[in-house]
Structure 1
Amino acid sequence: MARLSDAQVEAYGRDGHVTADWRLPAETIEAMRSALDKLVDANGHMTTDNMFCPHLRKAGTQGLEGDDAWLEFARIPEVLDMVEQLIGPDFLLWGSTVFGKPANVGKETPWHQDGEYWPIRPLASCSAWIAIDDASPENGCLRVLPGTHRNRHILLHHRREGEDITLNEELCDPSVDYTTARDIVLEAGQISFHDVFLAHGSAPNRSGRRRAGFVCRYMPTTSVWDRRLGKALEERSGTVEFAKRDLYLVRGRDVSGQNTVVTDR
């Protein structure tokens, strides 16, 4: 049964992340791998480190050619059941990313908080990180700083430039203890959930194995997708589109009454 235990839900509240016992069946992972091959073939102009919103047919400033298959993966009932345990019965899908992290050349993702970039007010979101491949320290698995979500605010970041990183904002807050870092080691089909305020990152992939993952972003509908703020943030980032983003109500109702959602695809 796809359900988090009471202890796992408690751990998510305490640490900001949890890995489920339930995992996707092998045939679903094979379907994801086939969809990833198709996605890469359709978007030969792009690096595969970060492929934003493959669930959309045309995704923002990247010009990613998406596929409906990814929308269906983001609606897998068992995954939604566990998300509901963490953020309540009313939530929408607002984003997704395929992290392709290729063998030998996969880039570093600096320590950061996702909420630094997202137009959600009040800021609340749960990310479901689905391992398409096995993820280990050798191929650059997700790393987290447990408990950095607890104060519910954005920590100090600074700008970092470089061709060998996936984003240009890096955590630099003096209050953070980096010695507490945990590696989120996953086998293909396993799922890790993390909170929007949790500081996380990943090392570069210097191994001979790809480390692909599919991340689905869910927002409780007590919050609002602020399209005006989204426009300002997309101008700042230059890589994602927020102002006209399609939102998919995947559980319950829009509690805020202010989110324009798509329910028919």
Structure 2
Amino acid sequence: MESTNLTAAEVAAYHHDGQLIPENYRMPPALLTAMQRSVAGVLERNPDQRPENLMNVHLEQGPEGVKGDPAILEYARHPSFLDMVEQLIGPDLILWGVALFSKPAGTGLEVPWHQDGHYWPIRPRATCTLWIALDNATPENGCMRVIPGSHKRGLLGHRTRDDDGAALNQELSPDEFDESQARDVALQAGQVSLHDIFIAHGSCANTSGQPRTGLVYRYMPGTSHFDRSTPAVPGTTGSSRPNYADRPIFLLRGKDRTGKNDFQRGL
């Protein structure tokens, strides 16, 4: 079943918890199949990169060197996606980031507990992330986990984690969160999850025999500025530092209310 509108209760739950799985939404089968095909092609074209965090997969050649697929940009414009995000952050929507999180069966890396706002050059910090399940995401294959309500505390302390067993080299300081409060974000292929820029989240390694692949769109409101002068926080194990200076951003709905966002850079 496809529904493009969140209920009032779902909108309230998103703001209360910082994360939401829309109960009655499933992607149209043709869209899911097209996304799966595009993502399979991206993985084939980037055999030398760890697949747990491939950035800018919507660009034919991203500033970090990933060979992507421009069709992935077009999927981000799907009305059902924009309608849900608009209900959460308002009518002015700017797509500033796309990532592919693919954990291979048996070898997919852990993602340490973190907040996205720690890394991103968004001022003021505001983004709704749409996490799209292209495979079934389960606790066994490393589905996302969140600490409900943690977004209300704002930006928390992080520390460097220097080992090869994780997809990020920054993690929340242990005294900043209570893992016993974690909730699994288990999804069937074609379901989506939405989460706030400040929600504490992470995921376990994939120890199962099934892959876990998610495609992620980052939408910010037109009241925020993608500040290219902000130094990037190196966060991805085994890859280059994110290149925000040359990353293109796209106004998908409404207006840029700040008058500062550059929609020509990187195109």
| TM, length-normalised to structure 1 | 0.94
For residue 201 of structure 2, give the secondary structure of its aligned residue in structure 1.
strand
What are the superposed Cα offsets for residues 124-157 of structure 1, whole Å, 9 maximum, x if unpaired? 0010000000000000001000111013x21111
Q: Number of residues paired by the alignment?
A: 260
Q: For 1:168-192, what per-residue CA distance to the aligned partner results, in whole angstroms no more than 9, with x for missing partners? A: 1111152422211000010000010
Q: 1:56 to 1:16 in 2, by over 3 A?
A: same
**Structure 2 residue aligned with 1:121:** 123
Unaligned runs of 5+ in 1: none
In structure 2, the CA distance between the partners of 1:53 and 1:139, relative to structure 1 (3 Å rule), is same
Residue 40 of structure 1, CA deviation: 1.4
Task: Tell me the residue number matched to 1:233.
Answer: 232
Aligned position for 1:103: 105
Partner of 2:162: 161
Change (3 A) 1:246 1:51: same
- Equivalent position amino acid for 1:212 in 2: T
User: What is the alpha-carbon root mean square deviation over aligned residues?
Assistant: 1.6
SS in 2 for 1:213: strand
Distance 1:259 1:19 in 2: 30
Q: Aligned to 1:29, which of 12, 19, 32?
A: 32
Shift of 1:60: 2.0
1:80-99 equivalences under 5 Å are 80-99=82-101
Match of 2:260, as an amino acid?
Q
1:177 aligns with 2:178: yes
Give the equivalent residue in structure 2 for 1:13.
15
Q: Deviations over 1:49-103 (max 9, x none)?
A: 1111101222123x10111111011111101100000000001000011111110
Partner residue of 2:61 out of 46, 54, 58: 58
The CA deviation string for residues 192-234 of structure 1, in whole angstroms up to 9 with x for no partner, is 00000000000000001000000000010101011111xx216
Q: How far is 1:164 from its partner?
A: 1.2
Q: Which amino acid aligns with 2:232?
A: L
Q: What is the deviation of 1:239? A: 2.9
1:48 to 51, 74, 81: 51
Local SS of the residue matching 2:146: strand
Residues 178-193 of structure 1: matches in 2 within 5 Å? Answer: 178-193=179-194
Cα distance between partner residues in 1 of 2:57 and 2:203: 21
Question: Partner of 1:253 in structure 2?
Answer: 255
The one-letter amino acid of 1:254's match is D
Provide the secondary structure at the position in 1 that maps to 2:137. coil
Measure, in 1, the Cα distance between the counterparts of 2:241 and 2:133: 24
Contact map agreement 1:249 1:262 (CA 8 A) in 2: no
For 1:160, the aligned partner's letter is R
d(CA) in 2 for partners of 1:38, 1:111: 29
Superposition deviation, residue 28 in structure 1: 1.4
Aligned-partner SS, 2:175: coil
Q: Percent identity?
A: 45
In 2, are the aligned partners of 1:11 and 1:17 still within 8 Å (CA)?
yes
TM-score, normalising length: structure 2:
0.94
Structure 1 runs, 4 residues or longer, greater than 4 Å off? 234-237
